[in-house]
Amino acid sequence: MPNILTLTRLSSDDRAKIEAIDPSVRVTDAGGWFDGEYRETWPAFTAERYLAPNANGQGDRKDRDRLLAAADIIIGGWPFPLDLRMRAPRLKWFHQRPAGASNLLRGDLWGSDVTVTTSRGSANGLAIAEYAVAGILHFAKGLHRAAVDREQGGFSARSYRPILLDGKTVCVVGAGGIGMQVGRLCSALGMHVVGTRRDPTTERPAGFSEIGGAADLDRFLPRADVVAICCQWTPETNRLFNADRFAAMKPNSILVNVARGEIVDEDALADALASDHLRGAALDVYTGEFEHAPMHRLWSDPRVLITPHVSGASDEDRHGGMELFRENLRSWLEGRPLKNVVDWDRGY
């Protein structure tokens, strides 16, 4: 009889669907129970950003330990108990509702013997893709100049320098679930779409004219008017965009990052902007976003649009993480392989 503990709040519908898979399944909803622990163990910046005001959890430490100790399967979100593996000796499988495996780097689950799955490819990919397109249009049409003009109290019409996206090239770095949506929307705008992915031999996604491997990135950058970073943060992609990569990018190009801030060397990005090599950068993420505010050199630059990791939010919840979990639960009960199992060496 598998005991499933969820650390994120479940809707009554999601709970019913999980319990309907097999009568032996027992679900305990502990969403919000650990908020007090998160305030004590995570940076204050994280608590302020992700926890409800004055939320301090439920029960005492012994109550929460009992919940973890009885769990065979745990559904987690963000944040999560950093010592979860130590306190959950029966734990066989942890499913993370977010898509990025790098979220787990802080805790003792990383590299453990527990099977961990993520919602990669099932998150709010369309919402994130729409954000990416909004960022592209923001700088393509010079809309960042409007705030500058308002602050200065007068228009500088020649400073807008709008460009037409039709026929321009976008390079999608990481043509996975989110990257494929970005490419599809950019193609609908008439853009020429190229992209990179770990395995370029798989079927080419809709809207893409060319898919290459990691080694093809340097071939794509000099002809890309827009670069959209959508890949996972791994040892291979850490500071993937450094001074050399920014120098290789096409002059007056636009950078969009909807992945993780650590993929970009932010000093190198600030330098590329300072030299007017780049037209602008739309960043939904930045280095250390769970600990502190963005780097001042970037946040103070009008050619940089920084938002607090909100690209996946929308008025409609199309997140497929729970549907993926239910599919995996059926497989787990039947002894079949699970989808989206994290490879610790690969990083996702």
Structure confidence by residue, pLDDT tens digits, 93-149: 999 999 889 999 999 999 999 999 999 988 889 999 999 999 999 999 999 999 999
| pLDDT score of 1 | 78
Q: Place 181 in a pLDDT band, splitting at 50, 70 and 90.
A: very high
Q: How far apart are CA 262 and CA 248, in angstroms?
A: 19
CA 261 from centre of chain? 10
Domain boundaries, the chain: 3-122+319-334, 125-306
Q: Exactly one of 291, 318, 323, 330 is catalytic; which is it?
A: 291
Q: Exactly one of 197, 260, 303, 319 is catalytic; which is it?
A: 260
309 is catalytic: yes
DSSP helix/strand/coil, 263: helix
Given a cut of 90, whether residue 85 has pLDDT beyond it is yes
* Side chain identity at residue 270, one-letter code: A
Contacts of residue 113, Cβ cutoff 8 Å, sequence gap at least 6 = none
Contacts of residue 240, Cβ cutoff 8 Å, sequence gap at least 6 = 173, 217, 229, 231, 263, 264
DSSP helix/strand/coil, 135: helix
| Mean pLDDT in residue range 35-57 | 93
Q: Place 319 in a pLDDT band, splitting at 50, 70 and 90.
A: confident
260 is catalytic: yes
Predicted TM-score of the model (pTM): 0.93
Report percent pLDDT > 70 for the chain: 100
Tally of helices (H runs) and strands (E runs) in the chain = 13, 12
| pLDDT score of 317 | 82
Domain 3-122+319-334 in CATH 3.40.50.720? The answer is yes
Q: Examine domains 3-122+319-334 and 125-306 and report if their fold is the same.
A: yes
Return the CATH number of the domain spanning residue range 125-306. 3.40.50.720
Contacts of residue 244, Cβ cutoff 8 Å, sequence gap at least 6 = none
291 is catalytic: yes
